Homo-oligomer: A and B are copies of this chain.
C-alpha cells in the first residue's frame, strides 16, 4: 500500500509508539487517502514501515477496531469500514474499490505488480530489470547535452503532434544508417516503445483483431492488446527466428497483424536471420499482413550488428517500425519513435494528441542533442563494451553454478539470457524463495504459459559481483528444491 519513505516514529514524543501508529492510520482514514473498503497493510508490513515490534502494531489496530474504524481478523484482511465522518453522519462515501475493479483495463498480473514493487528495493539483486546499469549512464554527457540544448530552447510549448522537428530530423539521419529511408513526416515521437504499442492498439486495430507473434514474447507480459479486446496467436520459432511458413495457416478471417522482435528477441535473445527476414516480408506481402517490428535492442550487439531491419527492405509500407532510447540511453527520458506510412503516422499522432498532448519537450531536445553531437554514437560504443564484460561474467557464473541443472543460450546482443531449469522443480517456489533471499529474476511463465521452466536473467543492470552472487543463490535454491 505504501512506498518506502522515512516513517520512523519518534521515541522522544510524548505519545507512546502505539498511539503514534494510531494517529498515522487515523490521518490516512480521515483525509480520505484510505477510503472505506481499503485493505490495510499487514501487521508485518506496518512493523517494518515504522520500525516497531509487531505487538505495538497489534495494540494500535485493536484501538482502531474498538473505535469502529477498521474491521476484520487482525492480519492480512483488515479493512477500513468507517471514517470519523461516516460514524458521525451515517452517510456512505463512494465505494472506490468497486470503481477500481471496473474500467476496461486489466490490472497488471499480480506477479508483474510484485516485480514492479521489488524493483525499487535497493537491497535486492536485480537480475530482472531490462535496463542499463546507472554506471553506464554518463552524467557528464547529460551535463554537456543539457548545457548545449538549453541554449537552443527559448520556450517549452506544446510541440507539433508528431514531436519536436529537430529530433525527427536527427532520427531520420540516424535511421538512414540502418537502411531505413524516411522523412521526418513519417516519424512519430512517442513516450517509449510501450506507448507506440498502446497507440497501435487503440488507433489501428479493431476489437477481435488477431496478433500473430513469437511465443514466448515480451508482448505476453503486457495487457495492452488484450485489454483492448485483441487475441494472440502464436507462431513457431526456431533459432533463426519465427517460421514464416506458419503464417498462412494462423492468419484469421478478421483483421490480423504480425508482431515481432527480430533482433535480440525478448526474452529468448534470438536474432532472426537475413534469409528469414526476407521470407517473412515476402509471406506478409503475399498475405497482405502488416508487421509491427519492435527493434529496441538493435544497437546492443556484442560482436557484430544484427541484419538490417525488416523496415529497410519494406517496399510497400508494410512495416511499422518501433525504436527507443530507453534501452540504449536512459528509460527516464521516455523517448521512443514509430516509423510508418504517413497516413498511419498522422492518425496515431492525432490520437497521441488526444491521450497526452505529446511527449516532454525537454527530453526531446536532450535526445536530439545527444544524436547531433555524436555523443550518442560514442555512448553506444561504451555500452557495447561494457555489456560484453557483463555477459561474460554471467555466462561464467552460469557455467560454474548451474552446469548440468540448467541450459541457456549465448546471446549475441540485448540484455537477457534465457535459462531453462532442467529438474522439474516448483518454479513459483523458486521465484518466491529467491525474492525472499534477495534475488529478483523474471519467471518464464510471464512470457508464455509453456515456459514455466524458464527464467529470464538480465546482465544489464546488476553489478558484476551481484551477478555472480545472484546466480550462486539461485543455484543453491534450485538444488534445495530438487
Q: Which residues of A contact B (CB under 8 A)?
A: 1-3, 5, 27-28, 30-38, 83, 85-86, 91-97, 99-100, 102-105, 107-108, 113, 116, 119-120, 131, 134, 137, 139, 142-143, 146, 150, 153-162, 165, 181-186, 191-192, 194-195, 198, 201-207, 222-224, 227-228, 255, 285-286, 288-290, 314-319, 326, 330-335, 340-344, 346-347, 350-351, 353-363, 366
When distances are taken between beta carbons in the complex, the residues of chain B under 8 Å from A182 are 31, 33
Look across to chain B and name the residue whose beta carbon is closest to the beta carbon of A209: B102
Of B30, B38, B343, B347, the residue contacting A342 (CB under 8 A) is B38
Look across to chain B and name the residue whose beta carbon is closest to the beta carbon of A335: B360
When distances are taken between beta carbons in the complex, the residues of chain B under 8 Å from A223 are 354
| Contact yes or no, A194 B356, CB < 8 A | yes
| Contact yes or no, B155 A332, CB < 8 A | yes
A288 CB to closest chain B CB (Å) equals 5
**Known: A99-B204, A103-B205, A202-B105. Is A94-B343 also a contact (CB below 8 A)?**
no
| Contact yes or no, B96 A290, CB < 8 A | yes
Look across to chain B and name the residue whose beta carbon is closest to the beta carbon of A461: B157
| Contact yes or no, A359 B341, CB < 8 A | no
**Known: A204-B103, A315-B85, A333-B362. Is A142-B153 also a contact (CB below 8 A)?**
yes
**Known: A330-B157, A356-B194. Is A96-B341 also a contact (CB below 8 A)?**
yes
| Contact yes or no, A350 B107, CB < 8 A | yes
A332 CB to closest chain B CB (Å) equals 3
A contact face: mostly helix, strand, loop, or mixed: loop
Among A92, A96, A131, A318, the one with the most B-chain Cβ atoms within 10 Å of its Cβ is: A96
A309 CB to closest chain B CB (Å) equals 13
A231 CB to closest chain B CB (Å) equals 15
Of B37, B155, B201, B343, the residue contacting A134 (CB under 8 A) is B155
Look across to chain B and name the residue whose beta carbon is closest to the beta carbon of A95: B288
Q: A93-B316, A94-B317, A223-B354 provided; 7 other pairs, C-beta below 8 A? A: A38-B343, A86-B316, A104-B228, A137-B156, A142-B150, A143-B150, A335-B360
Look across to chain B and name the residue whose beta carbon is closest to the beta carbon of A181: B31
| Contact yes or no, A315 B360, CB < 8 A | no
Look across to chain B and name the residue whose beta carbon is closest to the beta carbon of A355: B198
**Known: A96-B344, A315-B32. Is A360-B357 also a contact (CB below 8 A)?**
no
| Contact yes or no, A331 B156, CB < 8 A | yes
When distances are taken between beta carbons in the complex, the residues of chain B under 8 Å from A165 are 3, 5
7 closest A-B pairs by CB: A32-B317, A156-B332, A332-B361, A134-B155, A93-B316, A360-B360, A35-B317
